[in-house]
Amino acid sequence: MFPTVEVFDVSLPLSERLAIWPGDPKLSRTLASSIARGDIANVSHLDLGAHTGTHVDAPFHFVDSMSGIDQLPLDALIGPCLVVEANPPGTELRPQDLPETEHRRILFKTRNSARWASSPSEFDRDFVGVGLELAVRLVQRQVLLVGVDYLSVEPFDAPRPHPVHVTLLEARIVVVEGLDLSRVEPGEYELFCLPLKLVGSDGAPARTVLVRRSTP
């Protein structure tokens, strides 16, 4: 019998009302040409930051001497992954929130994901992110990719120079931010995460899906 295939789109819908990181460019879409105005086709003009919605951070985002988004290895962005559900008492995910696993792509589902159900336009500073101790543990585990369900991998009040970002990106761990895991159960999936190939960019939006296969 053929396996059953379920596909989960865990990308945030991009629109003008989507919450963005404070100070980042707001997304706008206008029609550069319009059939209604007599043009031959509709062509959109987009204005947005590289870290809008579901996106991938490149090492260059926080380490000036490192590579841009177009240099990320595709084999880190595609492959088996584990969705881990964790709800720490504060705003930091801890080493104990990471189970013993051989998976090298880890996505953290927290109470953040419930926020996306209402399509909020206001940024929430009390989101859950990865704590520094967990970031160090992820490096020690030689993780290829870590994904989180809000707009930053580390909590809002993290001190400069943002040690969680620096720790992960210096180790060339791919960071995926802004996932919507509200309709996804914890467990094993195949991850397909493809950021736009923007040469030299510090990041890029990414359409991201999870695939689960099961035998009837």
Distances (CA, A) of 37 to 23, 40, 81, 170: 34, 9, 47, 50
Q: Strands 78-85 and 187-195, how do they pair?
A: antiparallel
Whether 196 and 14 have beta carbons less than 8 Å apart is answered as no
61 is catalytic: yes
Buried/exposed code over 29-59 (b: 16+ C-beta within 10 A; e: otherwise)? eeeeeeeeeeeeeeeeeeebbbbbbbbbbbb
Query: Which residue out of 51, 55, 61, 103 is catalytically annotated?
Result: 61
The residues carrying an active-site annotation are 61
